[in-house]
Amino acid sequence: MARRMFSLPWNLLGGFPRSSRPRNNPSDHGFPEPISQIQYQNNPLAELPFLSIFEQNYGANHPFFYACKLSEALKMAGEEKKLVFVYLHDLNHPFTPSFCRETLCSEIVIQFLDVNFVSWGTISNRDEGANLVATLRPGSFPCCVVLTSTGNGDYFAVVRQIEGPVSPEQLVEILQRTMEEQGLSFQFGKLKEQEKITQDRRLREEQDAAYLAAIQIDREKERTRRSNYEKAEKQRETPKPRDYEKQMQTQTQTQNQTAKAREQSGSIDTRNMRALKTSKGSSGNTAKILIRFPDGERRETSFSGDDTIESVYRYIDSLGKRGIRAYRLVSGFPRRTYGYGEMNMALKDAGLYPRASLFLELIP
C-alpha cells in the first residue's frame, strides 16, 4: 500500500526539536515522541548493525545504504537534488525475508535507487528506526518512506509512505511517479555528460591556443635574430691589408658564436614545442575519479587512464581514514564491484575513463 503524505516540518511530525520530551505528556497534544536528538554510541557508524544484519541474511548485492545519521543523508540528498529512500527493517515480520530477497535486492530496484535516490536503512526497533516508527506509525511492514530535505536541518517532508509487500516493478513505478510529482529531472545524467563534454572541449581549445601562441613567439624570435644578423653584416667594414689576418680571425669567431647561439636557441625552442605537445597529450589521458565514502565525504582525484584499479585502492589507503579497514569499490549505475580480481585492470579497460564515480562499500 502506497500512501501520499503531506509535506510537513520536523516539529509538526512529532518533533526532532533540540530537546526531548517524554511520551504521553498532556502538553504533547497526542503527538509521538520527538526524535531529533538520537543518542549515538562512540562508534560514528551507528547504523552499521543494520547493514551487517542485512548482508548476513540477504548478501551484499543490495542498494547502496549510507551508514550515517538520517540528517546527514538528508543533507547529501539536498546537495545532489535527490530524494531520500528510507527502509525500515523489521526483523520479526513474516513479509520481511521475501521483500528483501525478491524486491529490495532485485537488480532493477538496485540500479534505480543507486542512480536516483540517496538510500538509508535502519532497524525498526533501534535508535532512529524506533523513533521513525513512532512518528510515522506504519500500519504494516515492510515499510519504505520517501523523504525530502527542505534545506534546513530542523525540517524535512514525508513525500510518500509505502507499506506492505510490493514487487520490484511496483516499487520502481511508485518511486518513479513520486519523482515526477516532485518535479525531479530524469535528464540529470545527460546534463552531467553534456557538462563534461563542454569542459573537455574548453580544455582542448585552451591547449590549442597556448600551442599556437608558443609557435608565434618562436617565429618572432627567429625574425628578430635574422634582422640583427643582417644589420651586423651591413655594418662590417672592408678590412685593411695590414689588419686582414686579425679581422678574419675575429670574423671567424663571431660566426662560430652566432652559429652556436642559433643552434642552442633552436634546441631550446624544439624542447619547448615538444613539452607543449607532451603536455597536451598527457592531459588527454587523465581519468577523474569521484570517490564517495560511507560517512558522506566525497573526494575527486585524477589518475592516468593507464593506471590500474590497485592505484585507486592505494590512494584511499594513503588517506588513513578512521573506521575504514575492509572495503570494496562499487560503481553506481550499472552496479559493478571492483575487487581483488580487477586489481591489475587499467582504468580505461574498467570503464572508469575519462570520468567515473565510485562508492566505498564497507565489508563487515
pLDDT of residue 7: 41
The answer to whether the beta carbons of residues 270 and 278 sit under 8 Å apart is: no
What pLDDT, on the 0 to 100 scale, is given for residue 234? Answer: 79
What local confidence, expressed as pLDDT, does residue 189 receive?
A: 46
Question: Is residue 2 predicted with pLDDT exceeding 50?
Answer: no
For residue 36, the tally of other CB atoms under 10 A from its CB is 19
- pLDDT for 95 equals 93
Q: Averaged over 129-151, what is the pLDDT?
A: 88
pLDDT for 211: 87
Q: Average pLDDT of 337-341?
A: 87
Q: If you ran DSSP here, which 8-state letter would residue 236 be given?
A: P
CA proximity to 150, closest of 217, 77, 100: 77
Task: Specify the DSSP element, H or E, that contains 143.
Answer: strand 143-149
- 22-74 per-position pLDDT tens digit: 223 333 333 333 333 233 334 444 445 888 989 999 999 999 999 888 989 99
Distance separating alpha carbons of residues 185 and 114, to the nearest angstrom: 15
Q: Could you give the CA distance from residue 197 to residue 201 in angstroms, rounded to a whole number?
A: 6
The amino acid sitting at 301 is T
Residue % of the chain over a pLDDT of 90? 33
Q: What is the DSSP string of 52-85?
A: HHHHHHH-S-S--B--S-HHHHHHHHHHTT-EEE
**Residue 200 is inside which H or E element, if any?**
helix 188-235
At a CB cut-off of 8 Å and minimum separation 6, what does 31 contact? 14, 15
Where b means 16+ CB within 10 Å and e means fewer, 139-170 reads: eebbbbbbbbbeeeeebbbbbbbbbebbebee
Between 125 and 192, the more confident residue is 125
Q: How does residue 254 score in pLDDT terms, banded at 50, 70 and 90?
A: confident
CB 16 within 8 A of CB 162: no
What's the mean pLDDT in 240-261? 64
> Over the stretch 66-109, which tens digit does the pLDDT of each residue have?
988 898 999 998 888 899 999 999 999 999 999 999 999 999 99
Instruction: State the pLDDT at residue 186.
Output: 40
Q: Quick one: pLDDT at residue 175? A: 94
pLDDT at 201 over 50: yes
Residue 8: pLDDT above 50? Answer: no
User: Would you state the pLDDT for residue 193?
Assistant: 64
Prediction pTM value: 0.42
Q: How far apart (Å, rounded) are the C-alpha atoms in residues 83 and 117?
A: 5
Element (H, E) at 287: strand 286-292
Beta bridge partners, 146, equal 85, 160
